[in-house]
């Protein structure tokens, strides 16, 4: 790890940023392709730490993974009989929550582990769900073991997915390959980040699987084959947020090409956040452009469905003109780090006023000063620090390398905003 001096914009940022593929879509498509009834090709695949861990995990279990020569973003997936092995989850929630239901279909023992920080992430919901479906699982958090029997019965399962929508998605993606399918019922507080569940449902249906969502908080997946699909991966709109926010804090203009007109990615709603803060946007010929204002306005926002954008939005609020209240995000205490505590600590350390509430943050802008912004091995925290450093001289971000989780070229791309090579 090293300390990275965040580049400072000398004026309004004017840039076009071409982003790689969506992590969320990539890792969902990889699971579906691995369990499909024939070969699939993924085009525009994100190649980052999280997605490479998923590719490696699938290969370990017997899936043929073949990147195209000269183009690692095009990946050919050929399913094969799944067998035991050892899977490194790193810090990837999608790996530690999506792959165990697939591992239950393997013939053999599959051992899961990951980074030290990942061992505190909540996993008992998905692991207990598998147990109730007849799968043998040893452990309640990383490291844990799934003892696959080559098939799994499936059936009905009730879970509390209020900690993460990934618990629902993880079961949805493999459910059709279970003998009885899986009927998932959620009880408890509302499921956070429900657009990610909608994304999973849409992609499973695209692969020819029948999913009944007619009953609220219930997803009934019928058993049957998963069709091979040649997936075209959209740009990652959550990764776009920090770059678009650069226009907001500098009064500049940032354009992101290949912005989908219709998408299930929650990151698309960041456009609405920017409107609330006084920015103007336009979508022309597939390119989204954000026009910043003199200073973003303070906001009161319920971020329950877009919690992953909270670090970027909190950084914007720390630089805004007026108090902001961000709510609906208590579940962020169980992400890569406790993001609410981390944001409160780091914004305050740079001279801001940020306090935790029961389910969010209250941010009162103040003049920020130089200092070190700690990333907590969390890619979204690192990019939030870079955003504050864009207009606050002397900010250093520790462990900027953690951005490789979803955006391997982030330091170079970010420096390119201000013309620093």
CB 18 within 8 A of CB 257: yes
336 is annotated as an active-site residue: no
Q: Which residues, 6 or more positions from 377, have their beta carbon under 8 angstroms from its beta carbon?
A: 91, 115, 117, 336, 337, 399, 402
Per cent of the chain over pLDDT 90 is 96
Residue 410: C-alpha distances to residues 6, 182, 276, 353, 419 (Å): 12, 39, 27, 28, 14
CB 42 within 8 A of CB 30: yes
Are 183 and 248 in a shared domain? Answer: no
Q: How confident is the model at residue 294 (pLDDT cuts 50, 70, 90)?
A: confident
Strand ranges (DSSP E) for 328-370?
353-357, 360-364
Please check whether residue 62 lies inside any domain of the structure.
Answer: yes
Domain assignment of residue 67, given as a range: 23-223
State mean pLDDT over 261-269. 94
Which runs of consecutive H residues, i.e. helices, occur in 89-236? 93-103, 124-132, 166-174, 194-206
Are 199 and 298 in a shared domain? Answer: no
Annotated binding site for 3-phosphoshikimate: 23-24, 28, 164-166, 193, 308, 335
Higher-confidence residue of 337 and 104: namely 104
CB 74 within 8 A of CB 118: no
Please check whether residue 204 lies inside any domain of the structure.
Answer: yes
Four-point Cα dihedral 296, 302, 308, 314, nearest 10: 30
Are 400 and 325 in a shared domain? Answer: yes
Q: Which of 223, 249, 272 is the last residue before a domain boundary?
A: 223
The DSSP bridge partners found for residue 373 are 397
d(CA 166, CA 87) in angstroms, rounded, equals 18
State mean pLDDT over 320-328. 97
Task: Give the number of other CB atoms < 10 A from CB of residue 64.
Answer: 13
- Total structural domains within the chain: 2
Are 140 and 209 in a shared domain? Answer: yes
Q: Which of 223, 258, 277 is the last residue before a domain boundary?
A: 223
CB 79 within 8 A of CB 38: yes
Q: Is the dihedral of CA 318, 324, 325, 326 positive or negative?
A: negative
With 90 as the cut, is the pLDDT of residue 421 above it? no
Are 206 and 240 in a shared domain? Answer: no
Q: What is the pLDDT of residue 1?
A: 55
CATH number of the domain encompassing residue 38: 3.65.10.10
Annotated binding site for phosphoenolpyruvate: 23, 93, 121, 166, 339, 380, 405
Are 145 and 219 in a shared domain? Answer: yes
State mean pLDDT over 18-34. 97
Q: Which of 223, 254, 276 is the last residue before a domain boundary?
A: 223
Are 14 and 94 in a shared domain? Answer: no
- Of the candidates 111, 234, 276, 308, the residue annotated as catalytic is 308
What does the block give as tokens for 143? 């490291």
Q: Which residues, 6 or more positions from 171, have their beta carbon under 8 angstroms from its beta carbon?
A: 101, 126, 129, 157, 159, 182, 184, 219
Q: What is the pLDDT of residue 420?
A: 66
Are 39 and 8 in a shared domain? Answer: no
Please check whether residue 378 lies inside any domain of the structure.
Answer: yes
CB 40 within 8 A of CB 229: yes
Radius of gyration of the CA atoms of the chain, in A: 21
d(CA 242, CA 298) in angstroms, rounded, equals 17
Q: What is the pLDDT of residue 90?
A: 96
Are 413 and 320 in a shared domain? Answer: yes
CB-count exposure of residue 50 (10 Å: 0-12, 13-18, 19+): buried
d(CA 105, CA 98) in angstroms, rounded, equals 13
Q: What is the pLDDT of residue 362?
A: 98
Please check whether residue 71 lies inside any domain of the structure.
Answer: yes
> Taking all residues of the chain, what is their mean pLDDT, rounded to a whole number?
96
State mean pLDDT over 78-86. 98
State mean pLDDT over 132-161. 97
Q: What is the pLDDT of residue 319?
A: 97
Annotated binding site: 23-24, 28, 93, 121, 164-166, 193, 308, 335, 339, 380, 405
Least Cα distance to 86 among 59, 52, 118, 124 occurs for: 59
Please check whether residue 290 lies inside any domain of the structure.
Answer: yes
Q: What is the pLDDT of residue 336?
A: 74
Please check whether residue 228 lies inside any domain of the structure.
Answer: no
Please check whether residue 230 lies inside any domain of the structure.
Answer: no
Are 244 and 131 in a shared domain? Answer: no
Please check whether residue 86 lies inside any domain of the structure.
Answer: yes
Are 69 and 184 in a shared domain? Answer: yes
Are 247 and 386 in a shared domain? Answer: yes
């Amino acid at each position: 790890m090293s300390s990275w001096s965040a580049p400072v914009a000398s004026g309004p940022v004017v840039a076009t940023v071409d982003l790689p593929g969506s992590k969320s879509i990539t890792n969902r498509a990889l699971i579906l392709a691995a369990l499909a009834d024939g070969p699939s090709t993924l085009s525009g695949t994100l190649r980052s730490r999280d997605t490479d861990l998923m590719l490696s995990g699938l290969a370990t279990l017997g899936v043929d993974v073949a990147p195209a020569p000269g183009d690692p973003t095009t990946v050919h997936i050929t399913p094969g009989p799944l067998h035991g092995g050892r899977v490194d989850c790193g810090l990837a929630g999608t790996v530690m929550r999506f792959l165990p239901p697939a591992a239950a279909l393997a013939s053999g023992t599959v051992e899961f582990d990951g980074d030290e920080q990942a061992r505190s992430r909540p996993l008992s919901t998905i692991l207990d769900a598998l147990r109730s479906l007849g799968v043998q699982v040893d452990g309640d958090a990383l490291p844990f073991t799934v003892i696959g029997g080559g098939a799994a019965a499936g059936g009905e399962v009730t879970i509390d997915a209020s900690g993460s929508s990934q618990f629902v998605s993880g079961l949805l993606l493999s459910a059709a390959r279970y003998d009885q399918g899986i009927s998932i019922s959620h009880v408890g507080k509302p499921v956070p980040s429900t657009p990610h569940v909608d994304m999973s449902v849409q992609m499973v249906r695209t692969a020819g699987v029948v999913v009944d969502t007619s009953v609220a908080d219930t997803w009934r997946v019928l058993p049957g084959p998963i069709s091979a699909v040649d997936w075209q991966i959209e740009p990652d709109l959550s990764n776009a947020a920090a770059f678009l926010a650069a226009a907001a804090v500098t009064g500049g203009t940032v354009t992101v090409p290949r912005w989908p007109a219709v998408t299930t990615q929650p990151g698309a709603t960041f456009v609405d956040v920017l409107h609330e803060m006084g920015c103007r946007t336009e979508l022309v010929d597939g390119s989204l452009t954000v026009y910043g204002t003199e200073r973003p306005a303070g906001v009161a926002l319920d971020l329950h469905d877009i919690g992953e954008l909270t670090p970027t939005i909190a950084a914007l609020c720390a630089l805004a003109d007026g108090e902001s209240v961000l709510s609906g995000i208590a579940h962020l205490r169980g992400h890569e780090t406790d993001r609410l505590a981390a944001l409160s600590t780091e914004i305050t350390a740079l001279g801001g006023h940020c306090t935790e509430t029961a389910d969010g943050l209250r941010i009162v802008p103040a003049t920020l000063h130089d200092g070190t912004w700690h990333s907590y091995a969390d890619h979204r925290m690192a990019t939030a620090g870079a955003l504050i450093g864009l207009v606050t001289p002397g900010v250093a971000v520790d462990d900027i390398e953690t951005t490789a989780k979803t955006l391997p070229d982030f330091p170079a791309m970010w420096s390119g905003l201000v013309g620093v090579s």
